[in-house]
Amino acid sequence: MVSPLFLRTMQVSLESIGLTSLFGIPWAVKFLWAPQIDRFGTRRRWMLLMQSFLALLFITVGLCTPLAGGVAIIAALLLAGAFLAATHDVAIDGYYLVTLDSNEQAAYVGYRVMAYRIAMMAGTGLVATIGTTIGWIEAFVAAGGLLLLLAAYHCLFLPRSETQQLPLSAAVLPLRRPRFLIGASVGAGAFFPVYAIVNSRYYGSILKNTPFLRGLGFAGWISIVLLLTLIVVAMFRRRIVPLLYRRPDSFYARAFMSFMDREHIGSILAFIILLRTGEFLLSNMVSPFMVDAGMKVHYGWMQALLGLPASIAGAMLGGVLISRLTLQRVLFPFLLAQNGSNLVYMLVAFSLQKFVVINTGAVIPEPVGTLNLIIVAAVQGFDQFSGGLGTAVLMTFLMRICRGEFTAAHYAIGSGLMSISGVFAGAASGFLAARLGYGRFFGLSFILSLPGMVLAFPAMKALIPAKNKKALP
């Protein structure tokens, strides 16, 4: 997130800065190497290694800033850093699931959300401020130094709660096999042409004729391919499972197969994908609604002073209640609260419709009045608070579907599927809001959230292990 600001201050062209979208790709495809983190070494060791490597990488980036041609080196380093950071995410999720029991996992959801928000503020606030006021060398060296301190702290105090299957050093052995080299070459050969096509002028001309595709993007297509692959695996799982039993070295394939080899997998997949449909639709159109209603100057303080604390409070309270009352008892009420904010926004949009008509495109918008501002601020706080409750539900559910020795891989697959509804919501929300108006659109977003809420019941039932069911080893 800091890289566009940094590169622009280094006089990099806007076209080149646009390529920083590459930095987000590792998070879209991290499920591809997540099984290896489960197999080699421990998640704790993976975390410490990634933190140390990232610290050294940021210090190196800082030292490269004054060099002639340093920008190209820095861009390559940041791309490598994106892969390290995505791997660190996978290791954290796996470690979290192995170290804590189910009640502790739910209770810590709020802390995870809070830590994430603090990290975001540290990057976009602290590092960016140091870079733009003092210098980018100091900014990146400070970031690297902070990560070194965290790595040292974790090395001393993180519990050693795992037993490794294979030593971490053995992770390099499969890289030498011809089969891996051929597979990696084919994958890379397919990856880069697809990325080039998605970002080509030809694809751009297709987007002009099919505007719906604009919101998909490269990461969206990756999520869709993941879903289609899992569906094919589910269709042929009865044939695939016996083959995996015969192959002791099929750990990678078993990581994906074990995710699908459970009862009611269709309900689980549908629930993961549809759970946040209403939330995604709403969040895409809230800020345009605020602008068109004439409240754009108030949106920032509403988000900072109300939205951020409310979302953290919602996630923390949600985690505590889930750990005390169980996920089954709070799942539907939390989802109803999360999606109920769509109905509240619908009422607000209808009440402010005259201001939307007057202020859309206006240079100097007409004030909506103090009372309306207070109402909108309260609705914004409630939306973020209920969204925090929904975040607690989602993260806890994803943890519960992880099982056996494939915790990191399963969580990476689940989080990859979760983004699919966001992809389509982002693509469709603008068209729907333009056709229907904000009030009807927010009402429709609630209606589209109903399938996810209905699927909560069979999805939770599917998590109850069947008796005498033979599990994939």
**Whole-number Å distance between alpha carbons of 150 and 153:** 5
User: Is residue 184 scored above 70 in pLDDT?
Assistant: no
The predicted structure's pLDDT at residue 158: 92
93-123 pLDDT, tens digit per residue, is: 889 888 888 888 888 888 888 888 888 888 8
**Whole-number Å distance between alpha carbons of 383 and 41:** 42
| Contact call for residues 41 and 164 (beta carbons, < 8 A) | yes
Q: Side-chain half-sphere of 389: how many Cα atoms within 13 Å?
A: 19
Express as a percent the part of the chain with pLDDT over 90: 27
The domain locations on the chain are 3-159, 173-209, 271-463
The predicted structure's pLDDT at residue 177: 67
CATH fold of 3-159: Growth Hormone; Chain: A; (1.20.1250)
The predicted structure's pLDDT at residue 459: 85
The predicted structure's pLDDT at residue 215: 59
The predicted structure's pLDDT at residue 308: 85
Name the nearest CA neighbour of 110 among 312, 334, 296, 331: 312
- Average pLDDT for residues 377-387, to the nearest whole number? 92
Name the nearest CA neighbour of 222 among 424, 28, 19, 24: 28
The predicted structure's pLDDT at residue 437: 92
150-162 pLDDT, tens digit per residue, is: 999 999 999 988 8
β partners of residue 166: 40
167 band by pLDDT with thresholds 50, 70 and 90: confident
User: Is residue 15 scored above 80 in pLDDT?
Assistant: no
The predicted structure's pLDDT at residue 199: 67
> For 271-463, which CATH class?
mainly alpha
| Contact call for residues 94 and 37 (beta carbons, < 8 A) | yes
- Average pLDDT for residues 16-44, to the nearest whole number? 83
- Average pLDDT for residues 67-89, to the nearest whole number? 90
466 band by pLDDT with thresholds 50, 70 and 90: very low
User: In this predicted model, which residue has the larger pLDDT, 232 or 436?
Assistant: 436
188-233 pLDDT, tens digit per residue, is: 666 667 667 766 777 677 767 766 666 566 667 777 777 888 777 7
Whole-model pTM: value is 0.80
Give residues with Cβ within 8 angstroms of 292, minimum separation 6.
Answer: 356, 359, 360, 438
The predicted structure's pLDDT at residue 472: 41
Mean pLDDT for the chain overall:
83
At CB < 8 A and 24+ separation, what contacts does 324-332 make? 327/106, 327/393, 327/396, 327/397, 327/400, 327/460, 328/460, 330/393, 331/393, 331/397, 331/456, 331/460, 332/453, 332/456, 332/457
**Whole-number Å distance between alpha carbons of 198 and 85:** 24
Express as a percent the part of the chain with pLDDT over 70: 87
- Average pLDDT for residues 372-383, to the nearest whole number? 92
- Average pLDDT for residues 271-277, to the nearest whole number? 89
The angle formed by the CA atoms of residues 13, 16 and 20, to the nearest 5 degrees, is 130
The predicted structure's pLDDT at residue 473: 43
470 band by pLDDT with thresholds 50, 70 and 90: very low
**Whole-number Å distance between alpha carbons of 41 and 164:** 5
- Average pLDDT for residues 442-459, to the nearest whole number? 91
Number of Cβ atoms within 10 Å of the Cβ of 237: 16
Q: Side-chain half-sphere of 369: how many Cα atoms within 13 Å?
A: 7
Residue with tokens 């076209």: 15
Q: Look up residue 460 and give its two tokens.
A: 């939770």
The mean-pLDDT minimum among 53-62, 87-96, 273-282, 396-405 falls in 396-405
The predicted structure's pLDDT at residue 190: 62
User: In this predicted model, which residue has the larger pLDDT, 454 or 182?
Assistant: 454
| Contact call for residues 293 and 368 (beta carbons, < 8 A) | yes
36-50 pLDDT, tens digit per residue, is: 898 888 999 999 999
User: Is residue 81 scored above 90 in pLDDT?
Assistant: yes
- Average pLDDT for residues 267-277, to the nearest whole number? 88
**Whole-number Å distance between alpha carbons of 228 and 244:** 21
**Whole-number Å distance between alpha carbons of 392 and 105:** 10
302-319 pLDDT, tens digit per residue, is: 888 888 889 889 999 999
451 band by pLDDT with thresholds 50, 70 and 90: very high
Q: Do domains 3-159 and 271-463 have the same CATH topology?
A: yes
- Average pLDDT for residues 72-95, to the nearest whole number? 91
The predicted structure's pLDDT at residue 318: 92
Radius of gyration for the chain, computed over Cα atoms and rounded to the nearest angstrom: 23
| Contact call for residues 48 and 151 (beta carbons, < 8 A) | yes
394-423 pLDDT, tens digit per residue, is: 888 988 888 777 888 898 888 888 878 877
User: Is residue 467 scored above 50 in pLDDT?
Assistant: no
User: Is residue 87 scored above 60 in pLDDT?
Assistant: yes
381 band by pLDDT with thresholds 50, 70 and 90: very high
Name the nearest CA neighbour of 270 among 441, 401, 465: 401
**Whole-number Å distance between alpha carbons of 451 and 457:** 11
Highest mean pLDDT among 124-128, 272-276, 375-379 belongs to: 375-379
The mean-pLDDT minimum among 52-56, 108-112, 423-427 falls in 423-427
Q: What are phi and psi of 93, to 5 degrees?
A: -60, -45
Q: Look up residue 10 and give its two tokens.
A: 């280094």
